[in-house]
């Protein structure tokens, strides 16, 4: 039997996921000699053995790969015959320009969970237990290749027991970089709001539980940053947290020990439970059950609650069920209002001092702050709302090679995106670019992703809005590095994002129904209710919502009542005293508003669909003032009668969607005493019908049947379901978001796709 040798190169997520021990054991199984090693561009293997064994070995790699591995390519070629002694795992090799995707953080696996609660295990109740299949990754990786000295675990020297596991290819912890135990690894402690040390280790965890049971607010250091936690069954504790965080209404996320507990508060079902249990362990938004025994102020005005399962051993220990202790925690981001989530002990002590009663700290540094991810469930699949922990920095895979570009994203819900080869590295959620802290975080994220994936952009894409901090950064950077700038219209970016992530080629034309809050239009007005026809190459604006005045800009966004009166004014409908938004504003405010509208003072025009939702919510008497973005629309959706099928009239004249008929009918419905639930449902149904009407017009004019749905308004599942049903029934193919959120979290990705296409030398 003749021996042959082959070299194999594998690309994808193959580091930090148990890939080398898997190869080691597979090679032994097939009687092969040789070696495997991590390089900065993936995993390299050389093997010698019988041809049939080699073939079987290569075939088995993608089939039997470990659960967290993601193979993007496997190339192999013959090499001259090599004589190896046994099979070895050899040290990492690095070449300065090579790169591979980095694994996101992974929720605790079942085996580690069993060890955590096994009194015989040497890691019994150790809050940092992890293995090759689970634990921190992106949040602790400073540089590649992924090796312990390049992580925040560098300062912890392994004890002999941990080292033996780390070096044994047959062990589950072989080369698990964050491997640790109570003897050698990180520890927790509790301190009070003045920084005084209260307790260590298990005592600290028990003392923290006790405080939570007493209604106290705790800052808890986790995987990607701090949480603020309290007992979700205690309305006074929740109210105190709202008061101290200056967050009157915005819903809080929840965490419970296991699925049976979660089932008593929300309607989950198999697909939702699979998501909750997934290695990404996101917050899943689910319909709440009637009379759930939780504080009513957790998610006021909402029909859904956001639940997640404990994704670290520390969370499991904190939530372990015991009579007299809370079974559900509020777990909200540890930050001050719109600032980034805090991730260092020092910053948390300083900034959460007035909020938390005590701090549960640990000494494993967090290199990258990452928020919890949020997903909804649409047609049994994850529908992203906030893409962060567990998902980032996993790239979006592209069908074509692209040039290296940087896209800096929009102002709100900012993310950045860097491209290379067939990857788009869309960053974790960075946040609202409205303060110094977030801007610093944004700059740090760009630097980190560029160095991690070794990307040198050939161009920079930005939003057309001249005042966005991200736009200003792009202008400065392009100037200092002499790079081309690609300005991308906000809603064009939305369209490109959803089209490309659905696998469409960059030049394929689609119709985008882009229903959004705010986006700068090339005509200087604020867009947001748009039908765009285009591809990554270009777009045209085919239809749009009739523009309405936005009196006072931000003031109109904060007060839907102003938007409702503006709508009535624009349609020539008098401000009758029986209408809720008329009653909500004082005589003086109405007089000022009327003057402002008549004179056009600080009153930009907007075709925003988000503002139409605000106006309708105010007309229905539901919400005259908001305390967080999207509140009026979310509450309007929550209210809609699921069984109602009625809808209102509209007109399309030229490019404009005219809503006067709908508003007239809404007003008479209000005066007939129909319930807000009926009116809200009819309003939703009308928008779905308008969507179908627009799609039919586009098909008649262009033959296009692919309808891309993007923009923050499409987080509205009632609207999304009704619209996609109607579109499908009429032969259209709706394209909805799968990997990126419909809100502005997708904009950087869309910008990157448009810029990459413009800079691409091989346009087809």
Residue 159 touches which of Zn ion, Fe ion, none (Cβ within 5-8 Å per kind): Zn ion
Angle between helices 717-729 and 631-639 (to 10 degrees): 70
Spatial CA neighbour of 45 closest among 96, 72, 7, 101: 7
Residue 223 touches which of Fe ion, Zn ion, none (Cβ within 5-8 Å per kind): none
- Based on the shown chain and the rule CB under 5 A, indicate whether residue 516 belongs to the binding site for Fe ion: yes
Residue 112 touches which of Zn ion, Fe ion, none (Cβ within 5-8 Å per kind): Zn ion
In angstroms, the CA 13 to CA 72 distance is 8
| Positive or negative: CA dihedral 547, 552, 557, 559 | negative
Strands 358-362 and 188-192: antiparallel
Q: How far is the CB of 123 from Zn ion (least distance, A)?
A: 9
In angstroms, the CA 463 to CA 490 distance is 6
Q: CA-CA distances (angstroms) from residue 603 to 77, 547, 564, 599?
A: 66, 12, 14, 9
Q: How far is the CB of 161 from Zn ion (least distance, A)?
A: 5
Neighbours of 146 (CB within 10 A): 23
Q: CB-wise, 107 or 687, nearer to Fe ion?
A: 687
Contact between 529 and 544 (Cβ < 8 Å):
yes
Q: Is the bond leading into 145 cis (omega within 30 degrees of zero)?
A: yes
* x-or-dash string of contact with Fe ion, 468-507, rule CB under 5 A: ----------------------------------------
Residue 184 touches which of Fe ion, Zn ion, none (Cβ within 5-8 Å per kind): Zn ion
Residue 660 class from Cβ within 10 Å (0-12 exposed, 13-18 middle, 19+ buried)? Answer: middle
Q: Which window, 20-28, 58-66, 512-520, 607-615, contacts Fe ion (CB under 5 A)?
A: 512-520
Strands 87-89 and 656-658: unpaired
Contact between 48 and 81 (Cβ < 8 Å):
yes
Q: CB-wise, 493 or 579, nearer to Fe ion?
A: 493
Q: How far is the CB of 184 from Zn ion (least distance, A)?
A: 3
Residue 162 touches which of Zn ion, Fe ion, none (Cβ within 5-8 Å per kind): Zn ion
Q: CB-wise, 610 or 676, nearer to Fe ion?
A: 610
Residue 331 touches which of Fe ion, Zn ion, none (Cβ within 5-8 Å per kind): none
Q: CB-wise, 25 or 525, nearer to Fe ion?
A: 525
Q: How far is the CB of 610 from Fe ion (least distance, A)?
A: 9
- Buried residues in 306-344 as b, exposed as e (16+ CB within 10 A): bbbbbbbbbbbbbbbeeeeebbbbbbbbbbbeebbbbbe
Q: Which listed residue (231, 357, 372, 744) binds Fe ion by CB under 5 A?
A: 744
Q: How far is the CB of 494 from Fe ion (least distance, A)?
A: 6
For Fe ion (CB under 5 A), the number of binding residues is 2
Q: CB-wise, 372 or 516, nearer to Fe ion?
A: 516
Residue 744 touches which of Fe ion, Zn ion, none (Cβ within 5-8 Å per kind): Fe ion
Residue 698 touches which of Fe ion, Zn ion, none (Cβ within 5-8 Å per kind): none
Contact between 235 and 295 (Cβ < 8 Å):
yes
Q: How far is the CB of 37 from Zn ion (least distance, A)?
A: 24
Residue 516 touches which of Zn ion, Fe ion, none (Cβ within 5-8 Å per kind): Fe ion
Query: Tokens standing for 425?
Result: 């590295």
Q: Give the helix/strand (H/E) hosting 275.
A: helix 270-277
Q: CB-wise, 134 or 548, nearer to Fe ion?
A: 548
3-state secondary structure of 388: coil
Q: CB-wise, 78 or 183, nearer to Zn ion?
A: 183
Residue 497 makes CB contacts below 8 A (sequence gap 6+) with 710, 737, 740, 746, 747, 749, 750, 753
Q: How far is the CB of 710 from Fe ion (least distance, A)?
A: 8
Q: CB-wise, 495 or 593, nearer to Fe ion?
A: 495
Spatial CA neighbour of 278 closest among 304, 252, 259: 259
Q: How far is the CB of 111 from Zn ion (least distance, A)?
A: 5
Q: CB-wise, 620 or 747, nearer to Fe ion?
A: 747
- Based on the shown chain and the rule CB under 5 A, indicate whether residue 530 belongs to the binding site for Fe ion: no
Q: Which window, 62-70, 137-145, 338-346, 741-749, contacts Fe ion (CB under 5 A)?
A: 741-749
Q: What is the 3-state secondary structure (H, E, C) of 117-129?
A: CCCCCCCCCCCCC
Q: How far is the CB of 544 from Fe ion (least distance, A)?
A: 15
Q: How far is the CB of 491 from Fe ion (least distance, A)?
A: 7
Rule CB under 5 A: which residues touch Zn ion? 109, 112, 131, 133-134, 159, 162, 181, 183-184
Residue 525 class from Cβ within 10 Å (0-12 exposed, 13-18 middle, 19+ buried)? Answer: middle
Q: CB-wise, 184 or 464, nearer to Zn ion?
A: 184
Contact between 527 and 490 (Cβ < 8 Å):
yes
Contact between 5 and 47 (Cβ < 8 Å):
yes
Q: How far is the CB of 328 from Zn ion (least distance, A)?
A: 25
Q: CB-wise, 191 or 744, nearer to Fe ion?
A: 744
Q: Which window, 165-173, 515-523, 610-618, 647-655, contacts Fe ion (CB under 5 A)?
A: 515-523
Residues that bind Fe ion (CB under 5 A): 516, 744
């Amino acid at each position: 039997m003749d021996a042959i040798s082959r070299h194999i190169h594998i690309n994808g997520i193959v580091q930090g996921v148990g890939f080398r021990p898997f190869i080691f054991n597979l090679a032994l199984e097939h009687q092969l000699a040789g070696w495997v090693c991590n390089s900065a561009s993936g995993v390299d293997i050389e093997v010698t053995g019988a041809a049939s064994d080699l073939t079987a070995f290569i075939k088995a790699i993608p089939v039997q790969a470990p659960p967290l591995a993601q193979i993007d390519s496997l190339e192999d070629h013959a090499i001259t015959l090599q004589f190896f002694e046994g099979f070895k795992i050899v040290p990492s090799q690095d070449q300065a320009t090579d790169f591979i995707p980095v694994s996101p953080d992974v929720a605790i696996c079942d085996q580690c969970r069993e060890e955590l609660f096994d009194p015989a295990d040497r890691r019994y109740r150790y809050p940092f237990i992890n293995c090759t299949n689970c634990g921190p990754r992106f949040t602790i990786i400073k540089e590649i290749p992924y090796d312990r000295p390049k992580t925040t675990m560098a300062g912890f020297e392994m004890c002999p027991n941990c080292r033996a596991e780390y070096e044994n290819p047959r062990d589950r912890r072989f080369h698990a970089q964050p491997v640790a135990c109570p003897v050698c690894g990180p520890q927790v402690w509790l301190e009070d709001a003045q920084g005084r040390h209260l307790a260590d280790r298990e005592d600290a965890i028990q003392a923290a539980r006790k405080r939570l049971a007493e209604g106290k607010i705790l800052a808890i250091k986790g995987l990607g940053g701090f949480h603020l936690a309290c007992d979700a069954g205690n309305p006074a504790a929740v109210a105190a947290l709202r008061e101290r965080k200056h967050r009157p209404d915005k819903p809080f996320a929840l965490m419970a020990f296991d699925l049976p507990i979660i089932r008593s508060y929300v309607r989950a079902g198999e697909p939702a439970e699979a998501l909750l249990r997934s290695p990404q362990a996101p917050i899943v938004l689910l319909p709440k059950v009637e009379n759930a025994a939780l504080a009513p102020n957790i998610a006021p005005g909402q029909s859904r609650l956001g639940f997640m399962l404990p994704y670290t051993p520390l969370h499991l220990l904190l939530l372990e069920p015991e009579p007299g202790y809370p079974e559900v925690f509020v777990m909200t981001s540890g930050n001050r209002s719109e600032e980034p989530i805090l991730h260092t002990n020092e910053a948390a002590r300083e900034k959460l001092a007035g909020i938390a009663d005590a701090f549960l700290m640990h000494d494993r540094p967090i290199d990258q702050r990452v928020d919890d991810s949020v997903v909804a469930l649409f047609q049994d699949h994850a529908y992203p709302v906030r893409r962060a922990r567990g998902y980032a920095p996993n790239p979006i895979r592209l069908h074509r090679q692209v040039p290296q570009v940087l896209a800096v994203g929009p102002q709100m819900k900012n993310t950045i995106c860097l491209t290379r080869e067939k990857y788009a590295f869309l960053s974790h959620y960075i946040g609202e670019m409205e303060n110094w802290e977030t801007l610093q975080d944004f700059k740090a994220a760009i630097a980190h992703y560029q160095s991690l994936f070794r990307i040198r952009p050939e161009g920079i894409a930005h939003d057309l809005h001249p005042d966005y901090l991200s736009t200003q950064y792009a202008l400065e950077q392009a100037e200092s590095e002499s790079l081309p700038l690609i300005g991308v219209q906000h809603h064009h970016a939305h369209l490109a994002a959803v089209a490309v992530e659905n696998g469409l080629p960059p030049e394929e034309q689609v119709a985008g129904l882009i229903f959004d809050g705010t986006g700068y239009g090339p005509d200087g007005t604020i867009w947001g209710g748009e039908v765009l026809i285009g591809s990554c190459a270009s777009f045209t604006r085919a239809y749009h919502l009739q523009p309405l005045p936005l009196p006072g800009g931000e003031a109109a966004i904060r007060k839907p009542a102003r938007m409702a009166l503006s709508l009535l004014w624009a349609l020539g409908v008098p401000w009758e005293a029986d209408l809720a938004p008329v009653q909500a504003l004082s005589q003086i405010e109405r007089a000022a508003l009327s003057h402002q509208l008549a004179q056009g003072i600080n009153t930009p025009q907007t075709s925003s669909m988000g503002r139409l939702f605000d106006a309708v919510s105010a007309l229905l008497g539901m919400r005259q003032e908001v305390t967080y973005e999207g509140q009026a629309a979310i509450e309007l959706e929550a209210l809609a009668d699921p069984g109602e099928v009625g809808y209102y009239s509209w007109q399309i004249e030229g490019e404009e969607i005219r809503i006067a008929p709908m508003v007239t009918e809404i007003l008479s419905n209000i005066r007939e005493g129909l319930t807000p639930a009926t009116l809200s449902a009819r309003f939703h149904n009308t928008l779905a019908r308008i969507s179908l009407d627009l799609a039919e017009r586009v098909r008649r004019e262009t033959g296009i049947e692919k309808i891309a749905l993007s923009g923050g308004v499409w987080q509205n599942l009632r609207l999304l379901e009704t619209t996609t049903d109607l579109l499908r029934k009429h032969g259209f193919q709706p394209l909805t978001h799968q990997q990126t959120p419909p809100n502005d979290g997708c904009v950087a990705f869309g910008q990157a796709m448009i810029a990459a296409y413009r800079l691409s030398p091989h346009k087809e």
